[in-house]
Structure 1
């Protein structure tokens, strides 16, 4: 077994370890086997550490999902620092440095190196946590700050003693059931031996390698038109975790730009954005996703020969030509409609429609891991629909497309702090000029009908749930009819994707992030206005006023273009209950397309459960249905529930079902950057219950035997706003961070995803797990 020994001193330890391993013994009695990082260490880190130490919001940027992340170590520089005046250098694992030395030059410090006579920083942090265990299933002491409000200390090795003195109960894992004695001993033995790490990189199988060759050959075809199509495809798939037909379970791949062609080792061009200048000749390459798959960054895209054929049909089979390739830079980033105008708009839009769930996930669920800067501009639950290409003027009318394209530029390319308000006003006015153009152009078209809505595949109906600073996207229409619905046409879908995914820089400064957030407010407004056109003209103004109550009316006056309240709709919607009647008619008309039938939240008869489930589960769902689609004014306990609660219902046969119990906070409006709490309408909050895990960030979990579900529901109904009554519920059925079996229950959520949607499975995040 070959190990990578990290220092000269540890090299001696490694050599002795190898001599004492079973392979190094010549028939003598065997000592304990050499610890393998892949076999022994990473599984412990995956089980007990990755749930907090992954992605950009890992405490101290310590990513423990791979050997590379462990060796990179920690940093005092937070990725999320919205008030910074200057952008910071990017620190993306596997991209921005490829060696320990490279990361040390970027300010990262080792958590594995011994410091003279002192053990490694990781060893001391683990020891501090192990010697101060938590009281089983008790609340975490209030002086230990948890969640996103925690200010991480990030002590360097020489600062550990001061940290431990000030925070004696804040060792690792932080404020959660810790390592078993055996896990602790294994990690400490490994650290004492110099923390040796063997190579364990994911490699494609033969079947995957063949498909990789086919996809790389397509995107690297010679020719100007081919190069432009490949650039558009790369910019739209760079976030994807691609899984191949007949590929290995757990194998995913992602697109990069490389200085080297297919057949040679990849040399990644680590540009800040995927549409920044590459700086040299390059090739599009597919590389394996390394490390533990974590759910919050796992946005999947299925690749197959059929998918490849579809892309060839859309982008490579037409007669369009491009005389010269567009360059890179801020202007090209700001307006992708101009950059890629040579590619038929129908092809671009159809590709996004074919994969609508993927695209909406990129900017709603996102890969930046902490998203309140964007999510406080959206409602807590709404549906998303798409305009059919045949009814999209940007697709069908070349003259309209020519007039609209210059108005579709987006802010955020200039991050000068002093110019932020002027930039915002300029792009707001440009966007409103586009909305005026769109309104007047559509007024001259036939009234919208149900055929206006695209229904090409099951991506056509999506449900979005916001959980304060994160959000989820699921196929199908889940929950009761929501207050708002978004309708995307091509210009809106493409702008949303570019503004929030391609052009967004999580390492950017306050100006960039503020411009992004403010423009997303206009995007939401545009999606709502598109939807309003489907409703009776006489009611659009009243509906819009209901969405923008109180201070929202000021925002309507300041920043939004007037809506069309005169041209007709031909959908046949009841004007007295327009949004609800639309939702009910939509459910009826799309029953064959909707992959999320929902008798629990939309119960219309005596039976409020899924008919194909075992009797015990049907009875449990019948009881749970009493909690949903009711305002908090009549179910006061909603005010004490977190955003995303998981219910684990245990059946008599030993099986279990998992449900997401989501709190939908009501707002008078969601039109402002600050002061969200002042716009809450808590008496109108509701709950949605749906089978499955609908959040990457569970906030709490209850484990309930199916025969106790009626008692659980009764207790919630009777608790009202009584904190002691709610705490009794938590004591009886809750799984607190300190529960002796916390990790078994927590990771069972991931196992549930693996059993029901294996491609989507990944380790969930517990940074938002609440201390109830």
Structure 2
């Protein structure tokens, strides 16, 4: 027995010795590090919104490091050099030549900047579980990012002891912290492999590249137009690998060779050499705010061939490049049949509206205050669009459709604005008078080709979103796009918009967007009874808006009748009701919660517990803040996570719709704000890339939650609601709840899934 014990002890000692001498497994960036960044960092460090331009969605972004120069800067007098990841430079050395500094490299005896930032966050005073953060921690877009260099870190830490990373949120687990610190101490090696197409995807890549690189003048012009309309898209293939998305780029090399990228500021800048259109995989973590998807399939290719090559048209000479070509794409591409161009955009209208409502241009209050907080968008049928059907009208209109922004001389902003305003108003007068000679518009005037025909847009103060279908109460305004308006909006706000441009370029873009909105409103008013149009216009342009009507907008047609038979007491509401009845098959977003017409205000065919939730939440919808005081306490986009007794959950978006006397001016929004008229839209789904707050509520508690919301009169009573059901940044399960929103997207609309942005998550 003694011998057996001694042998056992010796074996145990030997085993422990061998174990102690075993090397610690090497840390893999792909396996161990990127998942931590994706879970705890990408929500703030992705895309142009990245604090200090530190993008942690990929190894390339981590290696690139940080910069003190912000991407979004509405005051710079000179355009700055673009710094698009995977586009304007490649590799750490190249990025450092562009002014970026490493956050991964040790500095002499000092640890890497990232290691020190993580240590500062790890040793800070622990956050009170689900408690409010200290008021001295500034959050949101107004936060001034210090972006300290390694030599400036000690001063930063002394001045901001509670602002280590991750910032002002439940932080890393001990294991995640130790893993990151070990990786940084070992030199932060990156073993990331780029995303590559599968064999099936590669075959489809070749087919599409062959289409866009086909020889011939017609083919070259169509390819250029298609590229300019799809360059921002996250393209996916029928039968492709989950999570694989692609991007159109211009290359110096043809298919079959490595892509040699031509990285111009804009997609319609002169490439300076022969080009080949190429598809390459999008790298890094997919984030929702930039994830604007577009499908590629055999049916889509057949559709393109039918649209663009199904008729006999010729190109006498290919257009060049330059400011004039950028300013007026109607002239640049006039050889391509207008019907083909417009129909292509209509087929995927949600994509095109998303590019300018959810894209880089719509970031920040001044960028988004040109639009109402909620409105519906409709489209004019091609066979009722004079630009499509009447060559003489098209010839008159085309010179008037040029857009500003190509000349960024700061001293010329006013003169350029007046020049393009006058061109636009000449066009509006031509349109008004020409359409007056046509039969009155009827229901056939509206395009109803597929479920892209009806769209809902919501502004969330400093961002905006688009969804198919008609969501929410009947809005104050509606937009009607025809081809000249849709194409101008896309070119002005997407193709020609330079996020790295100066104050002149950005001001011209914003001012012309004001004219675009007014044009869309005027198009819609033509559907209303003639004697109601001035009243609607007066409602949309109250107070100072009257001055803008007089100064900058062309007069509307208030004489010619509509062909629609509408209730004279409230023609807009009657129009909305008839629209829903006529085009119900196209409305993919039925909404009994916000537009309850009877005793039952819930969706059909869902869990009875959720039907009760719908019914209760409908009491909050579409009521003005004058009667529902809690609206004054709510941020723009709140997510409600409701847990049912069966263990499932539903997510609702609670959107605050702010009311304004008008949205016609660049500055001074606060003076036009009408808080007593604010309302809430409640709808199942994640309707914002930027959640401002979240509640987690058992389904059985929802009636009480609603009652407490109805009774809340001030900040103190609302804070009690937050204390009970709110998920603050300090909640122990914050990240689980936050990322569950992305999991919900994966379950309901998997192609739209992406990591959401928490830069705007508020400290309620």
User: Which TM class, normalised by the smaller chain length?
Assistant: over 0.9
Map 1:713-728; keep pairs closer than 5 Å.
713-720=706-713, 722-728=714-720
2:91 aligned to which of 73, 82, 99? 99
Please show how residues 538-687 of structure 1 align to structure 2 within 5 Å. 538-687=531-680
Kept in 1: contact 2:362–2:464 (CA 8 A): no
Q: Is structure 2 residue 104 aligned with structure 1 residue 112?
A: yes
Query: Where does 1:506-545 land on structure 2 (aligned, <5 Å)?
Result: 506-545=499-538
Counterpart position of 1:4: none
Any idea what SS the aligned residue of 2:547 has? helix
Q: How much has 1:27 moved relative to structure 2?
A: 12
Equivalent residues in 2 for 1:63-82, closer than 5 Å:
63-82=55-74
1:644-676 residue CA offsets vs partner (Å, 9 max, x unmatched): 000000000110000000000010000000010
Q: Is the 8 A contact 1:262 1:285 kept in 2?
A: yes
Query: 760, 768, 771: which one pairs with 2:763?
Result: 771
Residue 164 of structure 2 corresponds to residue 175 of structure 1: no
- Of 367, 380, 383, which aligns to 2:376? 383
Could you tell me how far apart the structure 1 residues matched to 2:45 and 2:551 are?
Answer: 42
Instruction: Say if 2:721 is the partner of 1:729.
Output: yes
Contact 1:297 1:369 in 2 (8 A): no
Quote how far apart the aligned CAs of 1:391 are.
0.3
2:473 to 467, 472, 480: 480
Whether contact under 8 Å (1:238, 1:255) holds in the other structure is yes
- The residue aligned with 2:229 is 236
2:5 paired residue number: none
Q: Distance in 2 between matches of 1:403 and 1:477?
A: 35
Secondary structure, counterpart of 1:458 in structure 2: coil
- Secondary structure of the 2:745 match is helix
Other-structure match for 1:343: 336
How far did 1:369 drift?
6.9
Shift of 1:136: 1.2
Matches within 5 A, 1:176-575: 176-367=169-360, 370-575=363-568
Aligned partners of 2:238 and 2:296 also within 8 Å: yes
SS of equivalent to 1:191: helix
Alpha-carbon separation, structure 2, partners of 1:573 and 1:673:
35
Other structure's SS at 2:430 match: helix
What secondary structure, in the 3-state scheme, does the structure 1 residue paired with 2:211 have?
A: helix
- State whether structure 2 residue 156 is matched by structure 1 residue 163: yes
Give 1:349 shift.
Answer: 0.1
- Listed as ranges, the matches of 1:127-166 within 5 Å are 127-132=119-124, 133-166=126-159
Q: CA deviation at 1:581?
A: 1.2
Distance in 2 (CA, whole Å) between partners of 1:28 and 1:230 is 63
How far apart in 2 are the matches of 1:165 and 1:342? 64
Q: State the Cα distance separating 1:372 from its structure 2 match.
A: 3.1
How many angstroms apart in 2 are the aligned matches of 1:131 and 1:578?
A: 62
After superposition, the C-alpha distances for 1:549-592 in whole angstroms (9 at most, x for unaligned) are: 00000000000000000001011111221211111111111111
CA contact (8 A) 1:377 1:521 kept: yes
Q: 8 Å contact 1:55–1:369 — kept in the other structure?
A: no
Mapped contact 2:645–2:699 kept (Cα < 8 A): yes
Which deviates further from its counterpart, 506-515 or 135-144?
135-144
Asked whether the 8 Å contact 2:479–2:523 carries over to 1, the reply is yes
Native 8 Å contact 1:754 1:761 kept in 2: yes
Number of aligned residues: 746
- Whether the aligned pair in 1 keeps the contact of 2:46 and 2:56 (CA below 8 Å) is yes
Question: 1:38 matched to which residue of 2?
Answer: 30
Of residues 84, 87, 94, the one that matches 2:79 is 87
Aligned equivalent of 1:17 = none
1:121 aligns with 2:113: yes
Cα deviation, 1:139-193, whole Å, max 9, x if unaligned, reads 1111111101100000011111110011110000000110000000000000000
- Contact 2:361/2:367 (8 A) holds in 1: no
**Residues 240 and 299, structure 1, Cα contact 8 Å, conserved in 2:** yes
Correspondence for 1:51: 43
Q: Any idea what SS the aligned residue of 1:383 has?
A: strand
TM-score by length of 1: 0.96
> What is the DSSP-based 3-state SS (H/G/I as helix, E as strand, rest coil) of the residue aligned with 2:740?
helix
Q: Deviations over 1:510-560 (max 9, x none)?
A: 000000000000000000000000000011011100000000000000000
The runs of 4+ residues in structure 1 deviating greater than 2 Å are 26-32, 367-374
Secondary structure class of the residue paired with 1:592: helix
CA distance in 2, matches of 1:676, 1:534: 29
Secondary structure, in 3 states, of the residue corresponding to 1:768?
A: coil
Which runs of 5 or more residues in structure 1 are unaligned?
1-25
Separation (CA, whole Å) in 2 of partners of 1:28 and 1:708: 53
- Residue 11 of structure 2 corresponds to none
Counterparts of 1:264 and 1:310, CA distance in 2: 28
Give the whole-Å Cα distance in 1 for the aligned partners of 2:476 and 2:422.
28
Decide whether the 8 Å contact of 1:298 with 1:760 is kept in 2: yes
**Residue-by-residue CA offset, 1:367-426 (whole Å, 9 max, x unaligned):** 457243331100000000000000000000000000000000000000000011000000
Per-residue Cα deviation, 1:420-439 (whole angstroms, up to 9, x for no partner)? 10000000000000000000
Aligned equivalents of 1:316 and 1:81: distance in 2? 43
Distance 1:563 1:176 in 2: 52
Q: Alpha-carbon deviations, 1:15-54, whole Å to 9, x = none?
A: xxxxxxxxxxx99964321100000000000000000000
Superposed displacement of residue 200, structure 1: 1.5
Higher mean C-alpha displacement, 309-318 vs 419-428: 309-318
d(CA) in 2 for partners of 1:723 and 1:225? 63
Q: Which moved more, 1:742-751 or 1:30-39?
A: 30-39
Q: Secondary structure at the match of 2:247?
A: strand
Instruction: Decide which moves more: 99-108 or 455-464.
Output: 99-108
Unpaired stretches in structure 2, ≥5 consecutive residues: 1-17
After superposition, the C-alpha distances for 1:260-312 in whole angstroms (9 at most, x for unaligned) are 10000011111000000001111000000000000000000011010011011
Mapped to 2, the partners of 1:596 and 1:514 lie a distance apart of 35
**What CA deviation, in whole Å up to 9, does each residue of 1:233-274 have, x standing for no partner?**
000000000010000000000000001100000111110000
Q: Distance in 1 between matches of 2:21 and 2:216?
A: 67
CA distance in 1, matches of 2:377, 2:573: 15
CA offset at residue 323 of structure 1?
1.3
For 1:565 and 1:643, locate their aligned partners in 2 and report how far apart those are by CA, in whole Å.
36
SS at match of 2:423: helix
8 Å contact kept, 2:362–2:368: no
Distance 1:144 1:449 in 2: 56
Could you say what secondary structure the match of 2:100 adopts? coil
- Superposition CA RMSD, Å: 1.0
SS in structure 2 at match of 1:361: helix
Does the residue aligned with 1:701 lie in a helix, a strand or coil? strand
Q: Distance in 2 between matches of 1:311 and 1:468?
A: 37
Q: Secondary structure at the match of 2:48?
A: coil
SS at match of 1:465: strand
Aligned with residue 730 of structure 2, among 726, 735, 738: 738
Asked if the contact 1:374/1:520 (under 8 Å) is kept, the reply is no
Instruction: Please state whether the residue corresponding to 1:56 is helix, strand or coil.
Output: helix
- When structure 1 is superposed on structure 2, of 405-414 and 675-684 the one drifting more is 675-684
